[in-house]
Structure 1
Amino acid sequence: MKRLVNFFILVINEIIKIFTKISTCIFIFLLIVIIAFIAIKAPAKVSKHAYINKLSSEVQQKEKKYGAVTAKDIKKEDNLFSFIDKKDYVLNKYALQHNIIYNYTSLWSIVNKALLLEYMVGIFLIIAAANIVSNEYKDGTIKFLLIRPYKRWQILLSKWTALLALYFGFILLIITVSIIIGGLKYGFDGFNMKDLYISNTGFVKERSMLVYQLILFAGKSINDIMAFSIAFMLSTIIKNNSLAIVGSVAVLFSGFILSLFGNRYWWIRFTPFPHMDLTQYLPDSTPLINGCTITYSAIILLLYFTVIHAVTIYVFGKRTID
């Protein structure tokens, strides 16, 4: 228990170090300003009566075009554009039949757009991860850190844990601020809005919009966590934060591009890149690589995270501090 408390104290100290930096305060302010700007530029709220009339008109037009199309029929559709059009028709028809306000301009419109800020958070954490160890060497404070009654692996792990806590703190900030600002613009009556999707079994299902947005943020967070973990490893091993930042940003943005070739080159499925976005396993999504499951992706990611941290701890543990 005492070791756990000491480790927790180390993590808190690292978080305080990061939050006392001006760059962190500026970044938090920037996130709030961008979310406010998104809300200002967002379209005005349409009345529910006008929305339902428009939706009803669209459903009637597509009903004449497609006839009695079911959710199961859509699963068999090969043409992408036809799939999207039929999917919208089936979901909108379900919403009207069950008196559900679906895909309506609400505070969740702001939250959904704010999801893109996750990439900004990822880049900020990459820079923070690249500096969190290398700056200790540069400032000479690494010596004072190591004479404390802590093992080297505890010091490293506390720094990484602080980065992880900071990351999810930023994500929570984005969600909270976007809900508040979105509510001020569109009203908070849409907070309990439902999201509709077509399940793998071919049925229209309902889910909480709040839960869905949290799943989206969580599923896409693996990409950022992997990227700043690599930055953390590189900065610890080579003590060069510039190279660590460049390499990690390359991983952050090139991973998806490489994963697109996963069905063409068999070896790509053994890299972490096609597995870093777990939202591909949602019921209404398609995995990037045929045959891959969320269990397989979790195992691959766990192996790479283990290797990254093992290499980082081993090199740092063997290094002589002058």
Structure 2
Amino acid sequence: MSSLIPLIQNECIKIVKKRRFLVVILILAALIPMFTYAQYKVAQSNLKQFGTSDWRAEQRQKIVDYTRSIGSNRVPEEWKQWRRVEVKLAQYYLDKDVNPASPNAVTFTREFLKNAISLFIPLMVMVIASDLVSSEHSTGTIKLLLTRPVERWKILLSKLISLVLFVSLTVISTAVLCYLISGVVFGYGGWDMPVFFGFRVVGAELDLSYVRPVEQWIYLIMEFGLVWFAALIVAVMSLMISVLVRSTAAGMGIMLALIIAGTILTNMVSSWETAKYLFMVNFRLTDYLTGSMPPIKGMDLTFSLIVLSVWGIASVIVSFWAFTKKDILN
């Protein structure tokens, strides 16, 4: 372990010197105010539309609109199923007299992490992870690195540990910046607000038998863990691509295509059941907490965690095999 610490320190210094992490922080600092303003404008629009700041009016109107569309023959059956679930969710929150989107910094952070888990955060992680090994080829430092009296697997392990550290920092920074910036507009309260979780979608019906309330800070921790796990899977897969592909641009292009393809497939693959074993279709882990319809029937939180774990473990195995066995000096 003592021989790993200098290697990890060296990898962390290289990541910092590349300023990729700084770029990620600057992107977050620039975009989060935009999302905060957009959320503020939504609240103002709802106030103008319903003539009141009462969230119940919005939920009742949502129920009316979705119920009307369910009875239309022009709406596809898949959309009807999703809207039936949304109607039941809205009615549940009305019955419990709990605003599911109460305007405060904690709720904004929770909603931002929920929506960023499948595309935004993976892209930020990819920026850091995609050139950990491939950049060593382009700069020529790979030969110097491998001439040291250190096993190859330790070199790659140090890169992996450093990557886990910066993935964690990225997710933490996202949450902290969301809270601090949005709190200026919405206030910094909301930690003890009740949030319901445990919704389960069975077929086209919403099962409420496992639903129970928790304080929002507990829910935020659960959501944070799922976001971190999804980001970690993206990171280890980016590391694998970086080992297999010597060009940084090609590696980033591959991961970018896969992540964007996942966003598109999630909205299109409901009838392609085999697609549920693709890693990019399983990224929206936070949706399972809120009772949203899964992209494909048969998917649930346990299933998605298992699928992502298998992809992540396979990526780590392939990375270490390729790095230790391939002739990467030529």
Q: TM-score range by the shorter chain?
A: 0.7 to 0.9
Change (3 A) 1:11 1:91: same
**TM-score normalised according to structure 2 size:** 0.75
Q: Structure 2 CA distance, aligned partners of 1:293 and 1:63?
A: 25
Report % sequence identity. Answer: 21
Q: Structure 1 CA distance, aligned partners of 2:13 and 2:246?
A: 23
> Residue 192 of structure 2 aligns to a residue in which SS?
coil
Whether 1:17 and 2:24 are equivalent positions in the alignment is no
Would you say the 8 A contact 2:55–2:99 is kept in 1? Answer: no
Whether 1:171 and 2:168 are equivalent positions in the alignment is no
Question: Any idea what the Cα deviations from partners look like across 1:166-215, whole Å, max 9, x if unmatched?
Answer: 12211101111221223333322323222235734525531222333343
Partner of 1:202: 208
Q: How far off is 1:165 after superposition?
A: 1.7
Whether 1:123 and 2:123 are equivalent positions in the alignment is yes
Residue segments in structure 2 that go unaligned for 5+ positions in a row? 45-50, 65-79, 201-206
RMSD between superposed Cα atoms in Å: 3.6
Please show how residues 101-180 of structure 1 align to structure 2 within 5 Å. Answer: 102-112=100-110, 114-115=112-113, 116=115, 119-180=119-180
Give the stretch that moved more between structures: 112-121 or 167-176. 112-121
Would you say the 8 A contact 2:63–2:90 is kept in 1? Answer: no
Q: How far off is 1:105 after superposition?
A: 1.3
**TM-score normalised according to structure 1 size:** 0.76
Whether 1:87 and 2:84 are equivalent positions in the alignment is no
Q: How far off is 1:254 after superposition?
A: 1.0
User: Structure 2: which amino acid aligns with 1:128?
Assistant: I
Greater length-normalized contact order (CA 8 Å, ≥ 6 residues apart): 2
Question: Any idea what the Cα deviations from partners look like across 1:57-93, whole Å, max 9, x if unmatched?
Answer: 67899999xxxxxxxxxxxxx6543542443233123
Partner of 1:69: none
Q: Structure 2 CA distance, aligned partners of 1:242 and 1:151?
A: 28
Please show how residues 1-322 of structure 1 align to structure 2 within 5 Å. Answer: 3=1, 5-43=2-40, 54-55=54-55, 79-95=81-97, 102-112=100-110, 114-115=112-113, 116=115, 119-197=119-197, 199-200=199-200, 201-203=207-209, 205-259=212-266, 264-282=271-289, 284-320=291-327, 321=329
Would you say the 8 A contact 1:222–1:277 is kept in 2? Answer: no
User: Structure 2: which amino acid aligns with 1:108?
Assistant: V
Would you say the 8 A contact 1:270–1:300 is kept in 2? Answer: yes
Q: How far off is 1:109 after superposition?
A: 4.3
Q: How far off is 1:32 after superposition?
A: 1.8
